[in-house]
Amino acid sequence: MFVDQVKIKVKAGKGGDGMVAFRREKYVPNGGPAGGDGGKGGSVILKVDQGLRTLMDFRYHRIFKAKSGQNGMIKGMYGRGAEDTYIAVPEGTTVSDADTGEILGDLVEAGQELVVAKGGRGGRGNIHFASAKNPAPEIAENGEPGIERNLKLELKVLADVGLVGFPSVGKSTLLSVVTSAKPKIAEYHFTTLVPNLGMVRLDDGRDFVMADLPGLIEGASAGVGLGIQFLRHVERTRVILHLVDMSGMEGRDPYEDYLKINAELKSYDPSILERPQIVVASKMDMPDASENLARFKEQLAQDHTLAKQPEVMEISSLTHQGLEALMLRTADLLAQTPKFETVAEKELKQAGYYKFEADEAEAPFTISRDANATWILGGAKLEKLFKMTNLEHDESMMRFARQLRGMGVDDALRERGAKNGDLVRIGDFTFEFVE
């Protein structure tokens, strides 16, 4: 089964908690703090594996969790950092955030890696909080939470040449003749339900990858037929072979077919029509093919809306007529055609970076009130500070209170009408507001 679009959930490991400990050795009175730091949590990393061709491996395994770091220990010993979790993906995988739609990366090279969920840093032990005023602090940080996110993986076939056209125009037959691929071929529409790839090798030593893409029909970009499902695979091709059936056996007009397919490609991504396109007149061994081809060329010549007249080449996959000339011409076009940017690459280029943390412009905290008149504090930055606070020690709680005051939470609550004794909640933790 060919799987080219899946959603998965990834969760990086939490950092290990820092330790509150003191040095207690014979002959060493007042040894001071000796709590070590926690180890870093493991990150979740996508890595390209050349041996994969589809996203089938994700069909039943969709949740990936990295391990947490080890807690800090006594005598200033640091916790062990957790190993990163690697997830193998095929070449041509585009990664985006399923919740926001933001594109995170485009993986197209063997061995390429992308960190999609960064592991949390380890919490600091009390050895870091000693000062002249407080030489024996009972303060330690919990480990930083790991990033958790829902991802959407899309596989876009890596092919140099793409075969497009209406169903049953001979795309699969052409691929089976010029490559060693063995696509399903039958006399009914939508025989091809998944993209098929094959390698074309010419006598002069040149070669390229050709993809037979499932048949498009009018309205495909709006979801008709196989819909937009396979239009994404055209994005990476550098040369398009547009097959048009000249036999007339389907009762359709070749020129109308040509215009409709181009309209669907333009509707999906206008830049697709900027790349070289050869119009391949297929099934030229049929009785009425020559007459239909002459009429097709005449209609093309009279169409003044076209920016330039497309190149038309005649073939018959059955008799092998014109196949060698078509493959040689295709190889020539590939040699002079650069790689085109996909939609994902354009978005990444505009962003200029991969975004993994909360937006810095986002408010550091939010305040709301529930039906019981309890004040609710939220916000990514505030919640992160709370999770890294060790609630088992009073000094750690006092430090958290100072952090809230420094962020302006106290003043904001007063402005909203908070009074002495009001209840304030952060997650599941509730405390009293004290003036």
Binding site per annotation, positions for Mg(2+): 172, 192
Q: CA quadruple 43, 44, 49, 51: dihedral positive or negative? A: positive
Q: Which of 236, 225, 411, 184 is nearest to 341 (CA)?
A: 236
What is the C-alpha separation between 417 and 356, in angstroms, rounded?
A: 36
DSSP 29-80: TT--B-PPPPPPPPPEEEEE-TT--SSGGGSS--EEEPPPPPPP-STTPPPP
What is the C-alpha separation between 117 and 197, in angstroms, rounded?
A: 32
For 382, list phi and psi in degrees, rounded to 5. Answer: -65, -45
Binding residues: 165-172, 190-194, 212-215, 282-285, 316-318
Would you say 260 and 254 are in contact if contact means Cβ atoms under 8 Å apart? no
Strand order in the sheet with 366-369: 366-369, 375-378, 423-426, 429-432
- What the block records as the tokens of 293 is 């081809």
Binding residues for GTP: 165-172, 190-194, 212-215, 282-285, 316-318
Strands 93-97 and 103-107: antiparallel
What is the C-alpha separation between 86 and 52, in angstroms, rounded?
A: 14
Rounded to the nearest 10 degrees, the angle between the axes of helix 171-178 and helix 323-335 is 90
Q: Determine the number of helices (DSSP H) and then strands (DSSP E) in the chain.
A: 8, 18
Distances (CA, A) of 247 to 170, 250, 254, 293: 11, 8, 9, 9
What 3-state class would DSSP assign to 296? Answer: helix
Would you say 374 and 425 are in contact if contact means Cβ atoms under 8 Å apart? yes
